[in-house]
Structure 1
Amino acid sequence: MNFEEIKSAIESYMQKDKKLFTTSSFQSHSLVLLHILSRIDNSIPIVFINTGYHFPETVAFRDKVVEEFGLKNLIDLRPDVPKFMQRDSEGRLLFASDPDHCCYLNKTQPVDNLLLRHDVWINGVRADQSAVRKTMKVEQPAPHGTVRFHPMLDWNAKSIYQYQKEFDLPKHPLESNGYLSIGCEPCTRKVDPEMMEREARWYGMNKTECGLHTDLVSK
């Protein structure tokens, strides 16, 4: 979808009094959607899923981008379960022993609760990012009668780069250090030359998604 198509779709939702929100990890490639939304309506809620494990550089970059783009409604979404309760039977934090459950408590569960209060989740997934995302559609049903809207689904790395260049978008400060897919600090590593972008997440584990794009899609 191009800018005008995205704008038309979002305005159509608004005319139907739909409650919208978007989530963002504030990685470099994520800024394209945020910038597009800032040009359409800068009051759309921008949800930062604050797991408590983000790089400090990500949090500082988030604040810089919000100010630069003039975004009016940043929501710092935190988990309901405190960290001292996120441990296994041996006392280890879950990211070290059960990353799927860690992601559920810190990401999936909080967003699932958020869906109860909204109608449309504007989501920046791209089909070229993973096998799971390649099967998605521009509009898909989500839990609690909500809709997932994927305006960036047919974009690719080249079109993201072109938009970044056209509008001179800032880059995440860790990108120059070899981090291309940036999530929680314990589960993110630098990308090796032979690796695909998202292989740097949950490296060495049989895991490529956190659950947001697998559990929060109605089958």
Structure 2
Amino acid sequence: MSSQSIITQASAVTFDQRVDEIAKQVAKYHKDGKKIFASSSFQPQSVVLLDIISRVDKTIPIYFLDTNYHFPETIAFRDQLAEKLGLNIIDIKSDIPVDKQVDENGQPLHATQPDKCCHINKVAPLEDVLPQFDVWINGIRKGQSSVRAQMQKEEEGKHGILRYHPILDWDSKMVFQYINERKLPLHSLVAKGYFSVGCLPCTGKADPTKPLWSDDRSGRWQGQQKTECGLHTSL
């Protein structure tokens, strides 16, 4: 399936008002003296929030969790968007080297204890960032999981952080329509059947038997009883 065939299936939506509302909210945070940061995994849907941030306030730092397990295509996508959108990207990673991230039998944690792997490489590094800021902008959406479906646009997070989810009510059709209208690049793995891209060892292609827009995280942690890395359940 080509990237173009994916984005042309998205229904038309007008986005100017939505972007204006986000801009007003960010301006209010600034007026109130709040320090703002954003996080991004630079997966396929990430480009929407990143583009909006680039239009609203390019100075907002965007933290990227470099787990050392990303697809090369994700790193290339990060670099492409940084240049195209003029983003202020800050890479962070765990203090524990990959060769030390093993269980008692010497097996990689991502294979035997994925929750612990996610905590070491995602949750712990970002938790260290939270005390430096007042507002955390991230791109979670209700349709991505049952956990996220219960979230609100603004919620209190750990260490007193205010979590702001500006595109919480966007569905996948809206995401790809925005990409189409703004002529934004697509993550190169989308055309190969990956609609949600995490770390390489724990990401597979989306379920080909499901409708394109029905479950864009079906490739994450395939075969495991796991749907979240912990960032949005513990922070």
Alignment partner for residue 164 of structure 1, among 160, 179, 192? 179
Q: Deviations over 1:11-52 (max 9, x none)?
A: 111112211111111122111000001001111101111000
User: Partner residue of 1:198?
Assistant: 217
Residue number in structure 2 paired with 1:29: 45
The structure 1 segments of at least 4 consecutive aligned residues displaced by more than 3 Å after TM superposition are none
Q: 1:174 aligns with which of 189, 202, 206?
A: 189
**SS at the partner of 2:218?**
helix
Aligned ranges for residues 36-51 of structure 1 at < 5 Å?
A: 36-51=52-67
Q: 2:162 aligns with which of 144, 147, 162?
A: 147
Q: CA deviation at 1:192?
A: 2.5
Residue 94 of structure 1: how far off its partner (Å): 0.2
Structure 1 residue 142 displacement after superposition: 0.6
Q: How far apart are the structure 2 equivalents of 1:123 and 1:65? A: 16
CA distance in structure 2 between the aligned counterparts of 1:69 and 1:28, rounded to whole angstroms: 15
Q: Supply the AA of the counterpart residue of 1:130.
A: S
Once residues 197 and 176 of structure 2 are traced to their aligned partners in structure 1, the CA distance between those partners, rounded to angstroms, is 17
Match of 1:107 in 2: 122
Aligned residue type for 1:34: L
For 1:147, give the aligned amino acid.
Answer: L
Q: TM-score, normalised by structure 2?
A: 0.89
**C-alpha displacement of 1:160:** 1.1
Q: What is the alpha-carbon distance in structure 2 between the residues aligned to residue 110 and residue 58 of structure 1?
A: 19
2:198 is aligned with 1:183: yes
| Contact 1:45 1:74 survives alignment (8 Å) | yes
TM-score normalised over the length of structure 1: 0.95
Partner residue, 1:97: 112
Q: What is the aligned counterpart of 2:99 among 84, 87, 91?
A: 84
- The aligned residue for residue 207 of structure 1 is 226
Offset from partner CA, 1:85-128 (integer Å, 9 cap, x none): 21100001100100000000000011111101111100111111
- For 1:137, the equivalent position in structure 2 comes to 152
Deviation at 1:82, TM superposition (A): 1.8
CA distance in 2, matches of 1:191, 1:121: 29
TM-superposed CA distance for 1:81, in Å, is 1.7
CA contact (8 A) 1:28 1:170 kept: no
| Alignment check: 8 A CA contact 1:138 1:151 kept | yes
Local SS of the residue matching 1:172:
coil
> Contact conserved, 1:125 with 1:150, CA < 8 A, in 2?
yes
Q: Which amino acid aligns with 2:222?
A: Y
1:116 to 118, 126, 131: 131
Task: Give secondary structure in 1 for the equivalent of 2:95.
Answer: coil
CA-to-partner distance for each residue in 1:154-176, whole Å, 9 max, x for gaps?
11112112211110110001111
- Letter of the 2:84 partner, please give it: E
CA distance in 2, matches of 1:162, 1:180: 15
The 2-side partners of 1:116 and 1:163 are apart by 33
Task: Give the aligned residue type for 1:107.
Answer: K
Partners of 1:106 and 1:57 lie apart in 2 by 19
Distance 2:200 2:127 in 1: 23
Aligned length: 215
Mapped partners of 2:93, 2:136: distance in 1 = 18
